[in-house]
Chain A
Amino acid sequence: MTYTFGLDTFGDRNGDDAGVPLSHAQTIRNVVKEGVFAEQVGVDFFGIGEHHTDFFPMPAGDVVLAAIAARTEKIRLGSAVTVLSSDDPVRVFQRYSTLHAISGGRAEVILGRGSSIESFPLFGYDLADYEELFEEKSALFAELLKGGPVTWAGKTRAPLLNQDVVPHAESGPFPAWIGVGGNPESVVRAARLGFSLMLAIIGGRPARFAAYSQLFRRALDKFGHPALPVGVHSPGHVAATDAQAKAEFWPRWRNMITLVAAERGFAIPTKESFDWDTGPDGSLYVGSPETVARKIAANLRLLEATRFDLKYGMPGLTHDQIMTNIELYGRQVVPRVRELLG
Chain B
Amino acid sequence: MARSRRLAVLGAGHVGPVIARLAVNAGYPVSVAASGDPADIALVAELIIPGARPQWAADAVADADIVVLAIPLHRFADVDPGLLSGKLVVDAMNYWPASDGVLDAFEDGTSSEIVARRLPGSAVVKALNHIGYHELEDRARPPGAADRRAAGVAGDDPAAVAAIAGMVDGMGYDPVCLGSLRAGRVLQPGGPVFGAVLSRAEFELAVREEARSLP
List the interface of chain A (C-beta within 8 A of B). 117, 120, 126-128, 131, 181-185, 188, 202-205, 208, 211-212, 214-215, 218-219, 222, 261-268
Contacts of B197 in A (CB 8 A): 267
- Among residues of A, the one whose C-beta sits closest to the C-beta of B189 is A265
**Complexed CA–CA distance, A181 and B40 (Å):** 20
Q: Which residues of B contact A219 (CB under 8 A)?
A: 43
Could you list 5 A-B pairs, sorted by A, with CB under 8 Å? A131-B72, A182-B134, A215-B43, A265-B195, A268-B196
Q: Which residues of B contact A262 (CB under 8 A)?
A: 98, 189-190, 195
Of the listed stretches B99-107, B114-122, B172-180, chain A binds B99-107
Within 8 A of A (CB), among B148-164: none
B206, CB-defined interface residue at 8 Å: no
| Cβ–Cβ contact A188 & B43, under 8 A | yes
Binding site for A on B (CB under 8 A): 12-14, 17, 34, 40-41, 43-44, 47-48, 72, 74, 96, 98-101, 103, 132-135, 137-138, 189-190, 194-197
CB distance B103 to A265 under 8 Å?
no
Judged by DSSP, the binding face of B is loop
Q: In the assembly, what is the distance between CA of A182 and CA of B133, in Å? A: 9
Residues of chain B contacted by A117 (CB below 8 angstroms)? 99
CA distance A261 to B74 in the complex (A): 22
The answer to whether A214 and B14 have CB atoms under 8 Å apart is: no
B101 and A127 form a contact (CB under 8 A): yes
Q: How far is the CA of A128 from the CA of B99 in the complex (A)?
A: 9
Contact B14–A183 (Cβ < 8 Å): yes
Residue of B nearest to A213 (CB): B47
**Set of chain B residues within 8 Å of A182, measured between Cβ atoms:** 14, 133-134
Q: Which residues of B contact A265 (CB under 8 A)?
A: 96, 99, 132, 189, 194-195
Q: CA A203 – CA B138 in complex, angstroms?
A: 10
In angstroms, Cα B43 to Cα A267, docked, is 31
- The winner among A117, A127, A203, A262 for most chain B CB atoms within 10 A is A127
Bound CA span A120–B99, Å: 10
Q: Which of B14, B103, B132, B190 contacts A128 (CB 8 A)?
A: B103
CA distance A182 to B12 in the complex (A): 11
Q: In the complex, what distance in Å separates the CA atom of A31 from the CA atom of B13?
A: 35
10 A-B pairs with the lowest CB-CB distances in the bound complex, closest first: A127-B101, A204-B134, A203-B134, A128-B74, A128-B101, A265-B195, A184-B44, A263-B98, A215-B47, A184-B48
CB pair B132 A266 closer than 8 Å: yes
By a CB distance below 8 angstroms, the chain B residues around A214 are 47
A264 touching B99 in the complex, CB below 8 Å, given contacts A131-B72, A185-B34, A212-B48: yes
In Å, the complex CA distance between A266 and B98 comes to 13
DSSP class of A's interface residues: helix, strand, loop or mixed?
Answer: helix
Are A215 and B48 interface neighbours, CB within 8 A? yes
B198 smallest CB distance to A (angstroms)? 9
Q: How far is the CB of A64 from chain B (nearest CB, A)?
A: 28
Chain A CB count within 10 A is highest, among B43, B196, B197, for B43
CB distance from B24 to the nearest CB of A (A): 14
Contact B195 A266 (CB under 8 A): yes
CA distance A211 to B190 in the complex (A): 32
With A261-B195, A262-B190, A265-B195 already in contact, the answer to whether A204 and B44 are too (CB < 8 A) is no
Residues in B whose Cβ lies below 8 Å from that of A203: 132, 134-135
A204 touches B138 (CB 8 A): yes
When distances are taken between beta carbons in the complex, the residues of chain B under 8 Å from A263 are 98-99
CB within 8 A of A267: which of B13, B72, B195? B195
* Chain A: CB-nearest residue to B198: A267
Bound CA span A318–B96, Å: 34
Q: Give the CA-CA distance A219 to B74 in the complex, in Å.
A: 28
The residue in chain B whose Cβ has the minimal distance to the Cβ of A186 is: B13
Q: Which residues from B are CB-within-8-Å of A267?
A: 132, 135, 195-197
Residues of A within 8 A of B103 (CB): 128
Residues of A within 8 A of B12 (CB): 184-185
Chain B residues in 8 Å Cβ range of A218: 43, 47
B48: A residues at CB distance < 8 A: 184, 211-212, 215
B130: nearest chain-A partner, CB-CB: A265
Rounded to whole Å, the gap between the CB of A175 and the closest CB of chain B is 24
A76 to chain B, nearest CB (A): 29
**Docked pose: A51 CA to B86 CA in angstroms:** 46
Instruction: State which of A120, A126, A185 has its C-beta within 8 Å of the C-beta of B41.
Output: A185
Shortest Cβ distance from residue A168 to the other chain B in the assembled complex, whole angstroms:
35
Residues in A neighbouring B96, C-beta threshold 8 A: 265
Which chain A positions have C-beta within 8 A of B72? 128, 131
Q: Which residues of A contact B34 (CB under 8 A)?
A: 185
Interface pair B47/A204, CB less than 8 Å apart: no
Task: Return chain B residues, CB-CB under 8 Å to A127.
Answer: 99-101
- The 8 Å CB contact of A120, one of B40, B43, B101, B190, is B101
Determine the chain A residues whose CB is within 8 A of the CB of B189 once the complex forms. Answer: 262, 265
A335 to B107, CA, bound (A): 54
Q: Which partner residue on chain B sits nearest A268 by CB separation?
A: B196
**How far apart are the CA atoms of A263 and B99 in the complex, in Å?**
7
The residues of A that contact B74 with a CB separation of less than 8 Å are 128
Contact A126 B101 (CB under 8 A): yes
